[in-house]
Structure 1
Amino acid sequence: MPEVIFPGPEGRLEGRYHPQKAKDAPIAIVLHPHPQFGGTMNNRLVYNLHYTFYNMGFTVLRFNFRGVGRSLGEYDQGVGELSDAASALDYLQTLNPNSKHCWVAGFSFGAWIGMQLLMRRPEITGFISVSPPANMYDFSFLAPCPASGLIINGTADRVAPPQDTQLLVEKLHEQKGITITHQEIEGSGHFFEDEHMDTLQSNVETYVRRRLTETTR
């Protein structure tokens, strides 16, 4: 998989880009967890999400937020990281102008950034939000949420408690015109340890394949 360097708001950003041969393949970006708590694009869950999308025929980009790995800049409380994500999507779209479907997937802090990106980019057609930290960050900007997607978390998550995720889902369910699918993986913690990772990947693949089938009918 080629390593890529592309321009970001504060200088270069480091990523991993995995293209498909089909010029009109759907595209996806995958966003990593909190930079100040060891989050990088090589996080196990981010890596597995990347390949889950690739194996479904997506052209995929994951990258390091500013100040992580070889990406320039410093942590910016989520504000700059959102700009980084927008730059990553710009880069991906420039390389794939014929793509008809655009997805964003994020884990924990990356889920929060991904949902904000969703609000700013109407071309995003679907999202995967894994362990969104609704107890730590304000998600009220999702009014209304512009696209349907999957929110998935573990019932034993001590970092982002399930009850907070449930409250977020209930608020989103009140909106018309979109469908928020919520799945809880029994016994899983925040990081989907052991066999829970396989369950996560399987659930994501089933959901995304169903959505793609619905849009091609």
Structure 2
Amino acid sequence: MNVHTKKSLIDGPVGKIEIALDEPDGAVRGIALVAHPHPLFGGSMDNKVAQTLARTLVQLGYVTYRSNFRGVGQTQGQHDEGVGERDDLLAVIAHMRARPGHEALPLVLAGFSFGTAVISHVARMLAEREQSVERMVFVGTAASRFEVASVPENTLVIHGEQDETVPIASVFNWARPQELPVVVIPGAEHFLHRKLHILKRIVVEAWH
């Protein structure tokens, strides 16, 4: 992502997990984890939307991690339809929490596309363990393709108006029973080409 990005390997449930770490220059307000799009369709932690989310969270003061799902980059294991991937992200969060001074910092979870489905279940699993999440950010929520769990009411949901990969109607159908607002970027498709600056602005403004 930038010259300061630190990549490393940590132990996961089925082998090594490749992670990337970016840190804010100033005061730390929390820790964040960004989950990338579908591994079988070229998704990785270097995806531009995932990078934009990470860069924005770093700017907001979060020590931000990204990780590659199974079979991507140097992460070991095989794609598990988003199930085993939940355990992998829990392992990454445990690694994040193990850092001295970070045990009790607020946690933000962000995801793009397939990553939103995995993150939604991770948040639910954390809640069952009485571990809180400060806020969640979903971009291109994969509601038409996967079971996306219900999310807290302060979750920021962002979607492209002209998304053909995940039709916006499916996101409204998922959000409606939860009375969850959806921020729509006019003219944007799934990967938000030429709209990443708008994504960044929406996230920053949501924090202020």
TM (normalized to structure 2)? 0.90
Go from structure 1 to structure 2 and tell me whether the alpha carbon gap of 1:23 and 1:88 turns closer, same or farther (over 3 Å shift).
farther
1:118 matched to 2:123? The reply is yes
* C-alpha distance in structure 1 between counterparts of 2:192 and 2:199, whole Å: 7
Whether the aligned pair in 2 keeps the contact of 1:19 and 1:60 (CA below 8 Å) is yes
Partner of residue 48 from structure 1, selected from 45, 52, 66: 52
* C-alpha distance in structure 1 between counterparts of 2:6 and 2:197, whole Å: 25
Whether the aligned pair in 2 keeps the contact of 1:24 and 1:98 (CA below 8 Å) is no
Which AA in structure 2 matches 1:97?
H
Task: Determine the structure 2 residue equivalent to 1:9.
Answer: 13
Task: Determine the structure 1 residue equivalent to 2:166.
Answer: 160
Partner of residue 78 from structure 1, selected from 61, 64, 82: 82
* C-alpha distance in structure 2 between counterparts of 1:83 and 1:93, whole Å: 15
Whether the aligned pair in 2 keeps the contact of 1:125 and 1:147 (CA below 8 Å) is no
Comparing 69-78 and 115-124, the one that deviates more:
115-124
1:185 matched to 2:185? The reply is yes
Go from structure 1 to structure 2 and tell me whether the alpha carbon gap of 1:187 and 1:24 turns closer, same or farther (over 3 Å shift).
closer
SS in 1 for 2:34: strand
- Map 1:33-112 to 2 at 5 A: 33-95=37-99, 96-112=101-117
* C-alpha distance in structure 1 between counterparts of 2:28 and 2:55, whole Å: 18
* C-alpha distance in structure 2 between counterparts of 1:192 and 1:24, whole Å: 29
Which AA in structure 2 matches 1:192?
L
Q: Give the percent of matched residue pairs that are identical in Structure 1 and Structure 2.
A: 27
Partner of residue 171 from structure 1, selected from 161, 168, 177: 177
Go from structure 1 to structure 2 and tell me whether the alpha carbon gap of 1:47 and 1:66 turns closer, same or farther (over 3 Å shift).
same
Could you give the per-residue CA deviations for residues 64-106 of structure 1, whole angstroms, max 9, x where no partner exists?
0111000111101111111111111111111153543111000
Q: Which runs of 5+ in 1 are unaligned?
A: 174-179, 211-217
* 1:204 shift after superposition: 1.1
Could you give the per-residue CA deviations for residues 135-163 of structure 1, whole angstroms, max 9, x where no partner exists?
11123x42xx3452111101100000011
1:203 matched to 2:202? The reply is yes
Could you give the per-residue CA deviations for residues 19-58 of structure 1, whole angstroms, max 9, x where no partner exists?
3477853010000000000000000111111110001110
Task: Determine the structure 2 residue equivalent to 1:151.
Answer: 157
How many equivalent pairs are there?
199
* C-alpha distance in structure 2 between counterparts of 1:90 and 1:192, whole Å: 31
Whether the aligned pair in 2 keeps the contact of 1:31 and 1:110 (CA below 8 Å) is yes
1:27 matched to 2:31? The reply is yes
1:135 matched to 2:144? The reply is yes
TM (normalized to structure 1)? 0.86
